[in-house]
Chain A
Amino acid sequence: MSDLTSLTLAGALTGLRAKQYSSVELTAAHLTAIEAARGLNAYVLETPDRALAMARAADEKIARGEAGPLEGAPLGIKDLFCTKGVRSTAGSNILGNFIPTYESTVTANLWRDGAVMLGKLNMDEFAMGSSNETSAFGPVINPWRSSGSNAALTPGGSSGGSASAVAADLCLGATATDTGGSIRQPASFTGTVGVKPTYGRCSRWGVVAFASSLDQAGPLAKTVEDAALMLTSMSGHDVKDSTSLPVEVPNFADFIGKSPRGLRIGVPKEYRVDGMPAEIEQLWSRGVDWLKDAGCEIVDVTLPHTRYALPAYYIIAPAEASSNLARYDGLRYGVRAEGTVLNDVYELTRAQGFGDEVKRRVLIGTYVLSAGYYDAYYLKALKVRRRIADDFTAAFGKVDALLTPTAPSAAFGLGDKVDDPIAMYLNDIFTVPVNLAGLPALSLPGALDAQGLPLGLQLIGRALDEGTLFTLAGALEKAAAFTSKAKRWW
C-alpha cells in the first residue's frame, strides 16, 4: 500500500468508506510516521493505544454503515484542549501531569463525528508566543528548510506543533487555537491551511484560557476542503460557553467550488509595511489577480487604525491572561512548590511553574489593570479596539472580504527573535486586528519564496461569513496550485 499519510483528510475519508483500507491501517501508518519524526518535536504526547482503540471502533461503525462525517480519520490535538484521561499541559510546567476529568467541547464534537486521536501537539506555553520557543517541551522544528541550508526554522506559533504535524504528514489535520494569529501565522510558515472562525463559532469550554475575549479554536489542515470538513465538526453552540453563538452551522465544504464571480474584495493599503519582503508583496498582487480572473471586483479600502492593533492587543491579551492565569495557585491541580505558609506556596509555585514569556505577560497584565493605570492603559486599549472593529465595519460596507498577506515574513530561524519580545510580537501584525474585531479569517499557501519557503495569503470575512471565505479560498487554492511539500529530511 502506498503511503497512507500523504492522503488528504477528504481523500482518506473517501478511501475509508470505499473500504480501500481500514482506519486501523490508516492510523497505524500515522503512528509509524510520528515515531520516525520525533526530531520535529511536534507531539508532546503520543497516544497509540487510544488511537488504535478508536480506529477499531471506527472500523466497526463503517462496517455497520454508521460512519460519522470524520469516521476513522486520525487527527492531532493541540495540547491546549483538555482531553479526558489524557495529560493536557498547555505547553507549561505548571500543569505538570494534569489529567483532565472532562473533554473539551471541540474535541468531543470531533470524536462524536468519528475522528481518531493520535496524540497531543506541542505549542507555546499557554499559547503565548509566535515561534513555539516558549514551550516547556522545547521548540517544534518546521519540516521546511531554506534551500541549501540545514538550519532549524520555526513553524511559527503558538500552534507550531499542529502546523508541523500537518505539514509533515503526521496527522490528517489538527486542532489549533488563535488568540492573535496562532493558527494563521503557523499555517503561513508551513504551507498549510488554517482557519480562525468568528468569535463564538467554536466553544471555548475545556480549552485552557489565555485571553478569553480573543481565543478561538479552529483547524489546521492540508487543503481548504479539509479545513472546511474539520471546522464543520468543531463548530456549534454549546451551553457550557456563554459566548458560544446559538447559530446554525452550515456545511462549510458546500461553499467550495461555488463561483466567486461578483464578490467584492478589499485590499487594505495599511497591510503594506516597511521591511516586508518584495516576494510577499508580489504574492499579494498575484492573489489579487487570481481573484480578479475568477470574476471578483477589487476595491481599495482603508483600515486606518491597523497599526494600533498590536499595542492594543498587548494590553488586552496580557490583562485577560493575568486574570485567567490566577487560577494556577498550586492548590487544586498541577505542580505545587513547597512552602510553609500559603503565600509562599502561591509565589514559589508560579515562579517555578511559569516560563519567562508567561511571567512577562502576567506582569504587564497585572500592571495595566492595577490601580492608577486601569483607565490610562486598559480602558484606552478597549476604546482603540472599538476603533479597529469600526474600521472593519466600514470596509465591509463596501466589500465582501479582504485579501492580505498572512505574515510579514517567511519562517525564521529558531533563536532569531527570542531575545527581542517586540520583534516577536510584530510577527502578528496582520493577524491580530481580526481577533480584536472577532472576525473570521483563513490563511492558505500561495507560493514559495526564493529560499523555497511557503508564504501565505489571508482572507478576512464578515462575522459568521466563513462560507464566503471558503468560496474564495477554494478559488485561490485552485489558481495558486500550491502542491509543494517539505522535502523529507527527518
Chain B
Amino acid sequence: MAIDVETVRKVAKLAHIRTPEDRLAPLAAELSGIMQWIEQLAEVDTDGVEPMTSAVAATLPMRDDVVTDGGDPEVVLANAPLRRGDFFMVPKVVE
C-alpha cells in the first residue's frame, strides 16, 4: 500500500520524531517503496497458522516478587542530561 504524506506526518508524530515539511514527501516515497516490496507476503497462505511470537519454544520463567536491585540513585542518575538532587530534570509537563 502506498503511504501518503499525511500518513508519514501521523506516523512521525506517533514515533516522536520531528520531521520537517520538506522531508515528508521523500519519506512517503521511500516508505511506499519498502511497503510495496513487503506486500508480497500476501501471497503466503497463512490460514490457520499460529503467529510465532518467540524464537524458541520456552515458557517464561517465574521468579519471586522481591526487590533484586536498586536503592542507588547515584547509579541511576549517572548519565542524566539534567538533574536536581535525586531527580531527573525535565521541562514543564502541565501548565
State how many residues of chain B have any CB contact under 8 Å with chain A. Answer: 50
CB distance from A419 to the nearest CB of B (A): 10
Q: A367-B11, A367-B31 are in contact. Are A359 and B17 (CB under 8 A)?
A: yes
User: Would you list 7 pairs from A and B whose C-beta atoms are within 8 A, ordered by A residue?
Assistant: A199-B55, A311-B41, A351-B17, A360-B27, A363-B27, A381-B41, A383-B49
The reply to whether A384 and B41 contact each other, CB–CB distance below 8 Å, is yes
Q: Which residues of A contact B (CB under 8 A)?
A: 98-99, 101, 198-200, 213-214, 239, 242-243, 245-246, 305, 307-308, 311-312, 314-315, 322, 326, 329-336, 339-348, 350-351, 354, 359-360, 362-364, 366-367, 370, 377, 379-387, 389, 421-422, 435-438, 463
The reply to whether A364 and B81 contact each other, CB–CB distance below 8 Å, is no
Which residues does chain A contribute within 8 Å of B42, judged by CB atoms?
A: 380
Indicate with 1 or 0, residue by residue over B1-40, a CB within 8 angstroms of chain A CB atoms: 0010001101110111111000000010011011101111
Which residues does chain B contribute within 8 Å of A198, judged by CB atoms?
A: 56
The reply to whether B35 and A347 contact each other, CB–CB distance below 8 Å, is no
How many angstroms from the CA of A335 to the CA of B39 in the assembled complex? 37
Within 8 A of A (CB), among B61-79: 61, 63, 75, 78-79
The 10 A-B pairs of least Cβ separation, nearest first, read A438-B55, A382-B51, A333-B79, A383-B46, A347-B18, A199-B55, A336-B81, A386-B52, A351-B18, A383-B49
Q: A243-B54, A364-B35 are in contact. Are A341 and B27 (CB under 8 A)?
A: no
The reply to whether B52 and A305 contact each other, CB–CB distance below 8 Å, is no
The reply to whether B18 and A98 contact each other, CB–CB distance below 8 Å, is no
How many angstroms from the CA of A427 to the CA of B38 in the assembled complex? 16
How many angstroms from the CA of A246 to the CA of B62 in the assembled complex? 13
Which residues does chain B contribute within 8 Å of A384, judged by CB atoms?
A: 41, 44, 46
How many angstroms from the CA of A346 to the CA of B91 in the assembled complex? 11
The reply to whether B58 and A245 contact each other, CB–CB distance below 8 Å, is yes
Question: Which residue of A has the minimal Cβ distance to B48?
Answer: A383
The reply to whether A382 and B53 contact each other, CB–CB distance below 8 Å, is yes
The reply to whether A332 and B79 contact each other, CB–CB distance below 8 Å, is yes
How many angstroms from the CA of A379 to the CA of B90 in the assembled complex? 37
The reply to whether B16 and A343 contact each other, CB–CB distance below 8 Å, is yes
Question: Which residue of B has the minimal Cβ distance to A311?
Answer: B38
How many angstroms from the CA of A346 to the CA of B30 in the assembled complex? 24
CB distance from A105 to the nearest CB of B (A): 14
The reply to whether A312 and B41 contact each other, CB–CB distance below 8 Å, is yes
Which residues does chain B contribute within 8 Å of A305, judged by CB atoms?
A: 44
CB distance from B6 to the nearest CB of A (A): 12
Q: A200-B55, A367-B31 are in contact. List 4 more A-B contacts (CB 8 A).
A: A99-B78, A326-B16, A336-B81, A348-B18
Which residues does chain B contribute within 8 Å of A385, judged by CB atoms?
A: 51-52
CB distance from A214 to the nearest CB of B (A): 7
Question: Which residue of B has the minimal Cβ distance to A390?
Answer: B49
Question: Which residue of B has the minimal Cβ distance to A201?
Answer: B56
The reply to whether A350 and B34 contact each other, CB–CB distance below 8 Å, is no
Which residues does chain B contribute within 8 Å of A336, judged by CB atoms?
A: 81-82
Residue of B31, B44, B54 ringed by the most chain A CB atoms within 10 A: B44
Q: A242-B60, A342-B93, A384-B44 are in contact. Are A332 and B18 (CB under 8 A)?
A: no
Question: Which residue of B has the minimal Cβ distance to A239?
Answer: B63
Q: Is B92 an interface residue (CB 8 A)?
A: yes
Residue of B8, B78, B92 ringed by the most chain A CB atoms within 10 A: B78
The reply to whether B55 and A331 contact each other, CB–CB distance below 8 Å, is no
Q: A342-B90, A347-B16, A363-B15 are in contact. Are A213 and B53 (CB under 8 A)?
A: yes
CB distance from B13 to the nearest CB of A (A): 8
Q: A314-B34, A386-B49 are in contact. Are A370 and B14 (CB under 8 A)?
A: yes
CB distance from A244 to the nearest CB of B (A): 9
The residue from B17, B38, B61 contacting A362, defined by CB atoms under 8 A apart: B17
Q: A333-B79, A348-B18, A363-B12 are in contact. Are A463 and B37 (CB under 8 A)?
A: no
The reply to whether A334 and B79 contact each other, CB–CB distance below 8 Å, is yes
The residue from A311, A360, A386, A437 contacting B51, defined by CB atoms under 8 A apart: A386
Q: A200-B58, A308-B41, A314-B38 are in contact. Are A389 and B52 (CB under 8 A)?
A: yes
The reply to whether B11 and A387 contact each other, CB–CB distance below 8 Å, is no
The reply to whether B91 and A364 contact each other, CB–CB distance below 8 Å, is no
How many angstroms from the CA of A346 to the CA of B55 in the assembled complex? 32
The reply to whether A382 and B52 contact each other, CB–CB distance below 8 Å, is yes
